Amino acid sequence: MAGPRPGFLAEVKDAVTPRAFLLVLGVLLLQLGFTASYVGALHDPTPHQLSIAVVGPAQAVLQGTSALHDVPDEAVRPSTAEDRASAVQLIKDQKVYAAWLIDPTTSRDTLLVATARGPAAATAAERIVGSLESAQQRTLGTEDVVPLAPGDAEGLSSFYLVVGWCVGGYLVASILGISAGSRPANTDRALLRLGTLLLYSVAAGLGGALTTGPVLDALPGPILPLWGLGTLVVFAVGAFTMAMQCLFGVVGIGIAVLIFVVLGNPSAGGVYPPPLLPPFWRAIGSWIPNGVGTDAARSIVYLGGSVLTPPFLVLAAWAVAGVAITLLTADRTTETRTPAAL
């Protein structure tokens, strides 16, 4: 005959272990962090050190740069360019976001922008320079020297492509860890798991490049460089996620989500480029795969591959760190080998 059934409180105590409670609490904190990070980064885009070059006669350039310096809250970082061609090259080399061409012989000046570097930055530059022109009873025309592709109307395709690569990287690493144990059984198993990740990264990189290029006609850039970028993004994110699982078990997945989703996406410059983000997100964006991947994708697609070395070095550093930690923390004490475990 069965004994008396335990009371509800006893059932709760037996079912809700301290570990389960801490994991649920961690999820709650991640959720709150997600909300705070996205809203904090994107709710109030305000220009800060938005780079604008001034072109024209010496006196006009002096007055223009002085006016830009006087814009409140250090919204603009003015510089100069010798002529229109130099200004266009500065924009394509990612040295400035816009160029103000002043012509004192007429009442109309021109602002060169590059919506391919982010429509929000072009709009902010146009608003700032336009207000200065209006104060002098002058008019301003805008010319887009690096326009977006027709299939990339809001300039977000590069960002979403990189986000997809990042999601694939930490998901496949998480699945490998959940299915075969957070820490590889030995160094050979660690190498096998990393090899699996590499093969996945190659396939995911090519798939993303083809999907956004020939399939959807969203990005007009060359396939091969985008494929290489995608492979490195996926592998870097996946290897680092794998490393976090080796160090912290299932909690490592939460750490990966914190870095690549909670912090990485809003700081990546997808919706708003770095000069329009708050200081914290502006500072971290160039050190997280989401941000450097987005910058590199836009450069490959629209800017002739300019300034690719820094993003690739950052991605390589994440990949090397992930591989090194995974190999160093592999469980060398386990001799039993099971064919199903990676």
With beta carbons less than 8 A apart as the criterion, state whether 157 and 220 touch.
Answer: no
Confidence at residue 333, expressed as pLDDT on a 0 to 100 scale: 43
List the structure tokens of 164.
């997809």
Confidence at residue 116, expressed as pLDDT on a 0 to 100 scale: 95
- pLDDT 10s digits, 152-186: 988 999 999 999 999 999 999 999 988 877 788 78
Q: pLDDT tens for the chain, 342 residues: list them.
A: 555 666 666 656 666 677 777 878 888 888 899 899 989 999 899 999 999 999 999 999 999 999 999 999 999 999 999 999 999 999 999 999 999 999 999 999 999 999 999 999 999 999 999 999 999 999 999 999 999 999 998 899 999 999 999 999 999 999 998 887 778 878 889 999 999 999 999 999 999 999 999 999 999 989 999 999 999 999 999 999 999 999 999 899 999 999 999 999 999 999 999 999 999 999 999 999 999 999 999 999 999 999 999 999 999 999 999 999 999 998 654 433 444 445
Identify each DSSP E strand in the chain by its residue range. 50-55, 76-80, 98-101, 108-113, 139-144
List the structure tokens of 21.
């409670």
Q: What is the full DSSP assignment across 150-203?
A: TT-TTS-HHHHHHHHHHHHHHHHHHHHHHHH-SS-SSHHHHHHHHHHHHHHHHH
Confidence at residue 18, expressed as pLDDT on a 0 to 100 scale: 79
Confidence at residue 13, expressed as pLDDT on a 0 to 100 scale: 65
Query: What pTM, to 2 d.p., does this model score?
Result: 0.89
